[in-house]
Structure 1
Amino acid sequence: MARPLSRRTLLQTAALTAAATAVPAAAAGPAHSAPNAPATPSGVPAAWTVRPFGLEDVTLGPGVFDAKRRLMLDHARGYDVNRLLQVFRANAGLSSRGAVAPGGWEGLDGEANGNLRGHYTGHFLTMLAQAHRSTGEQVFADRIGTVVGALAEVREALRSEPAVLSTGGRFGRAAENVRGSYQYVDLPAAVLDGTPALTLSAWVRPAHGAAWARILDFGDDTTRYLYLAARNAAGVPRFAVTASGPGGEQGLDGTAPLPLDEWSHLAVTVADGTGTLYVDGAAVARNTAMTLTPAALGTLAHHWLGRSHFPADPVFAGAFEDVNVYARALTADEVAELHAGRAADTSAGRGDLASYAFDETAGGTFADASGRGLDAGLRRTWGAPSHPGFLAAYPETQFIALESMTGSDYTRVWAPYYTAHKILRGLLDAYLATDDERALDLASGMCDWMHARLSVLPAATLQRMWGLFSSGEFGGIVEAVCDLHALTGRPEHLALARLFDLDRLIDACAADTDVLEGLHANQHIPIFTGLVRLHDETGEQRYLTAAKNFWGMVVPHRTYAIGGTSSGEFWKARGVIAGTIGDTTAESCCAYNMLKLSRALFFHEQDPAYMDYYERALYNQVLGSKQDRPDAEKPLVTYFVGLTPGHVRDYTPKQGTTCCEGTGMESATKYQDSVYFAKADGSALYVNLYSDSRLAWAEKGVTVTQSTRYPEEQGSTLTIGGGRASFTLLLRVPSWAAAGFRVTVNGRAVPGAPVPGRYFGVSRSWRDGDTVRISVPFRLRVEKAPDDPGLQALFLGPVGLVARRPGPEPVRFGLYGNAGLSGDLLPSLTPVPGRPLHYTLDGVGLAPFAEGTEDPTHAYFRRSEPRVIFGTSDSTVANPAREDGTTLLDEIWAGAPFSGKGALVARVRATVDAWVLAGLLGRADGDKVVSTARRAEYAR
């Protein structure tokens, strides 16, 4: 028996989504909630008249969901979380412990300069939390603890002044600048002291091959400076000095790249018009026209190791040891000695202008051994966080820059608040799964920081920010902040949630004005789940109204047959489906977020359409987005599901760390979250999905075990276990269940007429062992694209069937030739022996969309019924069509089901007469059609 639901558990399982009032026992219709109600003694808000169960309360049985989940759980157990933490530790200047970031969007070298890094760690935390709640396995809790502990260390480091990261050096210790740390060494202004001659000597160990990373850069700006770069555009070291910017540089270029992760010695001498560059003790370049000296540049403002005066240049990644500056040009022999040992042990001695051994092991100050007392300090290029709660895998500059942006540029700023949302959500889920107070403290601190940052901005600035494509995307942050507010009760957290209001979108949707065309789909879907939560917290009706109306603008008007939405990540005009099909349709994140929104709305209004959509998207796009094979490195989840003919799904997009792979990890560890819901007063149990599972309903003291191979099986069996309990079992009757829906209890039929697209109620005082059998026969049906009825998708019950054949030409099928009197098109298909839900038609294989294979697929086909055929009897008459594309056969079969052959023939005669009268069909051909229908044999 599962433990009673605590307040913490309820927050996790329901995502703090308030619920609506109960539905009648026999059929569910719309009902509205009372928002912002106080919590009951059990911790459930009074408005939550329907609530979900915790992931720990619903156990998946064998079947397609369990099989897909096991693949993801194996990935969650085995993946090295230190790789995900690398970018966080680097940003704080901490050791990455040898870990290498995953790459793709989760690293420094990915798309748009890695400006989304950190998001994937949040997704991974959520996956681990859901996995722990579902399985109870300690390994997931341990991994959560590792991540949360590391993030706590990162935040502490960001709060503090940067500290040296000591590493092994060429001769002793050295100071390392981790790539991604944005740290550099700031030398006092008096270092050069107007010297007319100069030698620079440094041991360096580059860790990355980025061009123009500076070993040192002394100057004022981008006009007067001298620098030594580890690599120029050609990949070799370069020294340059100028008083007139890049065009006036007098330079020295090396002849070969410095090796990465190895120590190299560089030296530059400048005196008497000659400059020489040395690498590892050997002269590699000489310039006898180098007239500029430090004295000629005058007093310079900045003297940096590791940082460039050009903002676009990277910060040097690697280690420094024994850096010396001399007020003379050393001889070649002296430079050779510097390559052989420490400066202090050579004839040249330590630099007389400055000398840094970099052998410190703590603190952020580097001692000057020249005798001049010019100690240097470790700094961040971006200064320090504006608030101690800041936590990210990149500097706060992303957030600061967004505040002044007037146009989108994701290479400069790529959705920093979206990334913050993923981290925040992961921390909240970690806390709710393990009670780790550190996670809650980190989450609360993040919201404190965001409130401090955003609350001082003018309203117009916020509206501009949130309206920017991509750069201003903030994902589901409002939902997460509201969830935090429910835990902390702090008014500034609720105030923060409201600072993300995008008023023009909210107002338009509240007025039921469709403004979605041209909008980035996944940027906006989670906004509305957040608005539902804001309604819960504030009682403001326009939030809930906007969310409900928005859902209706997407479903069905912008929804593909598989349940997905978006084309190239954007929405097109309302009702345009066929006209938007391409290789980049149905972004997987969109389906994930539409499921969340549907679920949230259902708790406010028990419209079965929400769960009909949920089943469609879950059993098709969401399941089909996960590949059916194990992988230690990648979650193997699609980004786009292309709907072009012959599309092959890509399960490793963009190196494997995209938003969709993140949400895919989450989806695959919470398949059971919406199988059952309960009325808060315990009077009814909603069975929303038919999935092999076991519910432990602690409040009622019963279990409900659902045994089924659905959708391979056309029905399910529910067995009640435990003590007696009285409640109404509300069974969802799918909207496609036109072939009947029958219910028995302990073998006896339950009276009543279940209506497709409603809930059917069975009220009873249940006893241990009571058995409910649900039969829901499937029929093969087509769903037509609204803007092109000839483009159709094929469904058997909830299962979308795809044709497996290479493209690019669309598959063409005729289905009426052997249709049954019931209107079922299934007799036209040939079952594949031993493979449920697999068929062939005209030599082409058909399979469930949910199968995660790399076969070329056709989710849509072209309907081709060139001649009028009944029961495989060919009339030889061409199948005529109206201007709208409706054919004679379409109109005849629209009358199905037929009670018998006579009823079908009567329908044929009446339709033929009408078409002859309209001039669409000749009388002789019409008679042929009728006679063919009369002599044909039909399946039931």
Structure 2
Amino acid sequence: MSVAAAPAAAGDLRPFALRDVVLGKGIFADKRALMLDYARGYDVNRLLQVFRANAGLPTLGAVAPGGWEGLDGEANGNLRGHYTGHFLSMLSQAYGSTGEAVYAEKISTMLGALVECRAALNKDPVLLGVPGRFATAVEQPRGSYQYLDLPAGVVGGSATITLSAWVRPSHASNWARIFDFGNDTTRYLYLAARNGNGVPRFAITTNGPGAEQGINGRAPLALGQWSHIAVTITGTTGTMYVNGEPVGTNTAMTLNPAALGQLRNNWVGRSNYPADPVFAGALEEINIWSRALSAGQITELQSQAAAATSAGRGDLASGPQGMTLRRTWGGPSHPGFLAAYPETQFITLETMTRPDYTVVWAPYYTAHKILKGLLDAYLNTGDPRALDLARGMGDWMYSRLRRLAPEVLQRMWGLFSSGEYGGLAEAVTDLYEITGNADHLSLARLFDLDSLITACADNRDVLDGLHANQHIPIFTGLVRRYDTTGEQRYLTAARNFWDMVVPHRMYSIGGTSDREFWRARDVIAGSLTDVNAETCCAHNMLKLSRSLFAHEQDPKYMDYYERTLFNQILGSKQDQPDAEYPLVTYFIGLAPGSVRDYTPKQGTTCCEGTGMESATKYQDTIYHQTADGSGLYVNLYSPSTVQWRGVTIAQATAFPFEQKSTLRITGSARFDLYLRIPGWARGAGVTVNDQPIPRVTPGTYVKISRWWRTGDTVRIGFPFTLRAERALDQPDVQSLMYGPVHLVACDPRTSLIPLGLYGNASLSGDLIGSVQPVAGKPLHYTVDGVELAPFFEATADAFHSYFRRVESRVVFGGLDSGVANVPGFLDDVWAAAPFASKGVFVQHVDTVAARYFTGTDRERIAGTARKARMSK
């Protein structure tokens, strides 16, 4: 299968296509293998079920994934379709990385189904015929919002009546109607498959629900099985029959259809109460007679079609054939529309003045996931159907949004959750780069949230209280907008925004947010809860960091990228296989004793979606190339091979289990090689063919310019040190980093555990001497009886990301001074590390001690510093 050219981002650097970088054995390949197996085995028809149902197409017996990706999940499934978009992106990345045909086949199945769904949505619905009790029945897929419309006056004037139908319910929805005739919620008669107690109910009223005269059945209608239900009214007696047996009678009825007069709505499967569900299942032998059938005639209907009985077909109505099939939300849809729910989600948003995700839940966010999935499919497979669907979505959104007043757009995009649109501006800009259609670039501008862009361009921090992941992707879109328009305020706003998050709202694992929101700037220890660090936020902050780095090769972006990738992203994917769920965290609780939940909300949240994408593109930022092709950047240290300019660069490393990496060149070319020296890597060194490179400085890129030939070897060493990072708001609340790896304490206690770590610190400030390695468990240590482990080991054990620093006595190099520590003293001493020599250390200790101690205590502290044996 061919592939398409990716949109070319502006800036100094270009990423590599996934197919150009091959992951070697290591923790990333292991994590990816789990997700690839999940993608390989999952039936995509389950994902397509909600799209097919919405379009009124056969669902092939598939069961939707559930959770957010179905009608029974949170907010009645108002986000369904988003997970399908993520899954399509995952499959596309999997195919781009591996070339395995199974992923291309699944992509093709999905594209074919989505083409059919779009076509069905753009025309009137068609009766969906399925085998019935006697002949052909009509199927009403749950989520199709379809019902049958009968002619006006169908029951008007009848003092006696019989309603009869064969039904096969597919879902236990209370108050779904079989019949409903009325004007509104005041005058009506209905037959519901289930009332609030789950049994059939007939009711008639001329004065609302409080005045209903009704009949209730005795037991629920069986799901997935055919049942016959009928109601007769004659005189003051109404009788309900189920499968030929009378199950309920009302002998005091004073109302009949004649009392209702002419009724406006005459429906099968739909209620006059807008909040009631549409009937889901199959219907056959729908008949209405202007007389009350006898019990014997009802019995006849159990074994043969009405036409063959003494009752004959209903004289008022007989179907479903010949009845008009409609959608509750109208239709057909506008050209190009594609979603797993009605277009009314988008229409309603335009008039909303307050957020309510039970009414509208981020329809443009869902559109982004679908559009991005289509673009990923096109770029990785070249399938023209993907581009056609994507182009149609772009055209449809532009035709809808360009008609709205600017103030309406600003109100929409400012609504929490309902107005969230994810990375849609970025995806639409990518679409423009592919199609060249200026309307698509104009569409991207329609997503500008002016108040936020202006504030960030002016470097005014307005993030407190904002929904984090609603806004992070906006800035990735702004960088892409800058790429295409050159408008500086977009890039400036994105840069300033990044600096407002890192480090001011960043946890040690690299993540951000608390309960999906940003709290006050620089409040870290004060915001530790069981719902920190939404995984989507980390995913999107990585995308933004990558985009900004392409424009400004500031190593801080890659230092952050490494921290977040090696900790939150790796640690968000559980280390075990599963066929049903991707096993990815939503929140990561950082409160003491938190436990990671890898199947939140039934496993189909936004974070499972981005988690699937993250795990199939781990290689996308290991390398960058300069726009002019003259240079190669090595950003991350991970076993991998990249093909570039006829040269193969193979990186061999067990990082982070070893503190070095080796690059070997095959081929011949002149280029500049840029090697990232992490900011934490004190004492790092680089050699080319065993010749050392001078001036290797942490937090920079080393540039090596030469003509490279087969056999050239570059070695990079970066000794890890154990360091404590203080929370910005409470310095005694700290976390541990060993090189790029965040170490957590494995402990079930739910309060901050106290740890002391300065007692064996080296002159460099390295705390590794204060912990003991655990035999046979790389990167595991113990201190004060507590085991420390890498966060990226994604277990379901209780852990502590933060601890309380408690140094009870002044100890240097394991030598106890006998003096009780004064809070702040040892922190101030070690804040000056590294020390050039023991003498410098001793002098600094004495200077700091003079601010905290007097007399004998100060002398004992200075003497201990002189006597202590301190490693470098």
AA at the equivalent of 1:902: G
Could you tell me whether the CA contact under 8 Å between 2:635 and 2:675 is conserved in 1?
yes
Q: Name the residue aligned to 1:534.
A: 481
Q: CA deviation at 1:340?
A: 2.6
2:178–2:268 contact (8 Å) kept in structure 1? yes
Using the size of structure 2 for normalisation, the TM-score is 0.99
Which residue, 810, 814, 833 being the options, matches 2:752?
810
What is the letter of the counterpart of residue 924 of structure 1? Answer: T
Counterpart CA distance in 2 for 1:9 and 1:490 is: 16
Deviations 1:37-57 (A, max 9, x none): xxxxxxxxxxxxx10111000
Equivalent residue for 2:257, pick from 271, 294, 314: 294
Structure 2 Cα separation of the partners of residues 192 and 926 of structure 1: 100
Partner of 1:72: 35
Q: Distance in 2 between matches of 1:513 and 1:623?
A: 33
* Deviation per residue, 1:460-483 (Å, 9 max, x gap): 111100000000000000000000
Per-residue CA deviations over 1:223-253 (Å, capped at 9, x if unaligned) read 1111000000011100111111111111111
User: Does the CA contact (< 8 Å) of 1:385 and 1:396 recur in 2?
Assistant: no
- Give 3-state SS (helix, strand or coil) of 1:703's partner: strand
1:855 aligns with 2:793: no
Amino acid at match of 1:412: V
Please show how residues 223-234 of structure 1 align to structure 2 within 5 Å. Answer: 223-234=186-197
For 1:454-853, list aligned pairs within 5 A: 454-697=401-644, 700-722=645-667, 724-737=668-681, 739-750=682-693, 752-853=694-795
Report the Cα distance in structure 1 between the residues aligned to 2:90 and 2:440, rounded to whole angstroms: 25
Secondary structure of the residue aligned to 2:302 is helix
Contact 2:121 2:333 in 1 (8 A): no
The correspondence of residues 423-442 of structure 1 with structure 2, limited to 5 A, is 423-442=370-389
Q: Distance in 1 between matches of 2:9 and 2:820?
A: 55
Deviation at 1:219, TM superposition (A): 1.1
Q: Which residue of 1 aligns with 2:60?
A: 97
- Structure 2 residue aligned with 1:19, among 11, 17, 28? 11
Contact 1:236 1:256 in 2 (8 A): yes
Contact 1:236 1:253 in 2 (8 A): yes
Identity of aligned residues (%): 65
| Counterpart amino acid of residue 156 in structure 1 | A
Alignment correspondent of 1:402? 349
Is it true that 1:890 corresponds to 2:827 in the alignment? yes
Alignment partner for residue 935 of structure 1, among 827, 847, 867? 867
Tell me by how many angstroms 1:523 deviates. 0.2
**TM-score (normalizing by structure 1):** 0.92
Contact 2:40 2:103 in 1 (8 A): yes
d(CA) in 1 for partners of 2:110, 2:6: 24
2:861 partner amino acid: V
What CA distance in whole angstroms lies between the structure 2 residues aligned with 1:151 and 1:515? 40
| Deviation of the 1:892 alpha carbon | 2.1
How many angstroms apart in 2 are the aligned matches of 1:440 and 1:273? 63
Offset, 1:911: 2.4
Matched letter for residue 906 of structure 1: Q
Q: CA deviation at 1:385?
A: 4.2
Partners of 1:291 and 1:691 in 2: CA distance: 81
C-alpha offsets along residues 634-676 of structure 1, whole Å, 9 cap, x if unaligned? 1000001100111110000000000000000000000010000
Instruction: List alignment gaps of at least 5 residues for structure 1.
Output: 21-49, 359-365, 368-375, 882-886
CA contact (8 A) 1:387 1:452 kept: no
Question: Following TM superposition, by how much is the alpha carbon of 1:821 offset from its aligned partner in structure 2, in angstroms?
Answer: 2.1
Superimposed CA distance per residue, residues 328-366 of structure 1 (whole angstroms, 9 cap, x where no aligned partner):
11111111111232111211111122222x4xxxxxxx2
Q: Give how far 1:193 is off.
A: 4.1
Match of 2:107 in 1: 144
| Residue type of the alignment partner of 1:9 | A
C-alpha offsets along residues 654-709 of structure 1, whole Å, 9 cap, x if unaligned? 00000000000000000010000011222111110011100111xx2101000001
Look up the equivalent residue of 2:432 and give its one-letter code.
H
1:103-118 alignment, distance < 5 Å: 103-118=66-81
For 1:547, what is the secondary structure of its paired residue? helix
Aligned partner letter, 1:732? R
Partner of 1:204, secondary structure, is strand
Q: Secondary structure at the match of 2:551?
A: coil
Deviates more, 1:322-331 or 1:309-318: 322-331
Map 1:190-209 to 2 at 5 A. 190-209=153-172
Partners of 1:270 and 1:66 lie apart in 2 by 70
Q: Which residue of 1 aligns with 2:397?
A: 450
Structure 1 residue corresponding to 2:15, chosen from 43, 52, 65: 52
Cα distance between partner residues in 1 of 2:304 and 2:442 = 61
Q: 2:156–2:260: 8 Å Cα contact kept in structure 1?
A: no
Report the Cα distance in structure 1 between the residues aligned to 2:705 and 2:127, rounded to whole angstroms: 69
Distance 2:449 2:422 in 1: 13
Tell me if the contact between 1:804 and 1:856 (Cα under 8 Å) persists in the aligned partners: yes
- Cα deviation per residue 1:773-828 (whole Å; 9 max; x = unaligned)? 00111111111101000011101110111110112021211111111122211011
Matched, 1:922 2:867: no
Superposed CA offset, 1:33-80 (max 9, x none): xxxxxxxxxxxxxxxxx1011100000011110110001000010011
Q: In structure 1, what is the equivalent of residue 303 of structure 2? A: 340
SS class of match (1:603): helix
Aligned pairs (5 A) from 1:342-357: 342-356=305-319
Match of 1:286, SS? Answer: strand
- The answer to whether structure 1 residue 181 and structure 2 residue 113 are counterparts is no
